Amino acid sequence: MSEIRLTGPLAQSGLLAAGSAPKDARLAVVCIHGRGASAADIIGLSDAFGLSDVLYVAPDAPGGAWYPAPFTQPIENNEPYLSNALGRIGEILAGLKAEGFGADRTLLAGFSQGACLSLEYLARNAGSVAGVLGFSGGLIGPDAANRPETASLAGMKVFIGCSRTDPFIPALRVMETERHLAARGAEVEAVLYPEPGHSINGDEIARAVTLLRAIG
């Protein structure tokens, strides 16, 4: 991984950055790590994707976790941490916008907790990004099938990949997330893999790269 130094509004944001310099990048991807991991872990997506025209930035969660309770528990069990984490994503997107990366040139990518946060941010903030790469995640809360949001997600591209027997992410939640986002107009590809485990596999990387190449 080749780290880069950020300038302008992003310079004081505490982000780890890799990939293309902002002035040369076609897209910016905000990478959100999982519980117990770090920005240094998730920024490795820059090497895995192998795209030379993409800027990757990644924040660190306070204490290594974005919220304390399992993501399927009542929302209030994860507050105020959940709101703070979503607010952090909004701040990063605002900084990227100031650097010229509008919603049409910005994506969220996350693993586990980071995937849940990325998908939740899109669901609550229609039109905020061009797409989401959700590796082992789903919408947050006890019920993803009857959410209140209705704003159009037309044009948003979403990939969700997860093991069918993931120990932390129920397969049903992945499919409920797909249905909710697709019903609002997003282009969603959700794949449940037969292999067990909680990780990112090579097929997920390939599908993510295809999605990134299709934007812009």
pLDDT in tens, 121-145: 999 999 999 999 999 999 999 999 8
Amino acid at 156: M
Amino acid at 96: L
Q: Is the pLDDT of residue 199 over 90?
A: yes
Taking the C-alpha atoms of residue 2 and residue 46, their distance in angstroms, rounded to an integer, is: 9
pLDDT-wise least confident of 12-26, 47-61, 186-200: 12-26
Which residue has better confidence, 9 or 130? 130
CB-CB contact of 46 with 32 (8 Å): no
Of all residues in the chain, the percent with pLDDT exceeding 90 is 92
C-alpha distances out from residue 45 to 48, 71, 82, 172, Å:
5, 23, 24, 26
Taking the C-alpha atoms of residue 213 and residue 23, their distance in angstroms, rounded to an integer, is: 18
Which residue has better confidence, 143 or 8? 143
Rounded to two decimals, the pTM is: 0.96
Indicate the pLDDT class of residue 216, thresholds 50, 70 and 90. Answer: confident
The tally of CA atoms less than 13 A away on the side-chain side of residue 157 is 17
Taking the C-alpha atoms of residue 18 and residue 1, their distance in angstroms, rounded to an integer, is: 7
What pLDDT digit, counting tens, does each position of 111-120 carry? 999 999 999 9
| Average pLDDT of the residues in 25-42 | 98
Burial 41-78 (b: 16+ CB within 10 A, else e): bbbbbbeebebeebbbbbbbbeeebbbeeebbeeeebb
- Mean pLDDT, the chain, rounded, equals 96
Taking the C-alpha atoms of residue 131 and residue 122, their distance in angstroms, rounded to an integer, is: 8
Taking the C-alpha atoms of residue 146 and residue 144, their distance in angstroms, rounded to an integer, is: 6
The tally of CA atoms less than 13 A away on the side-chain side of residue 125 is 20
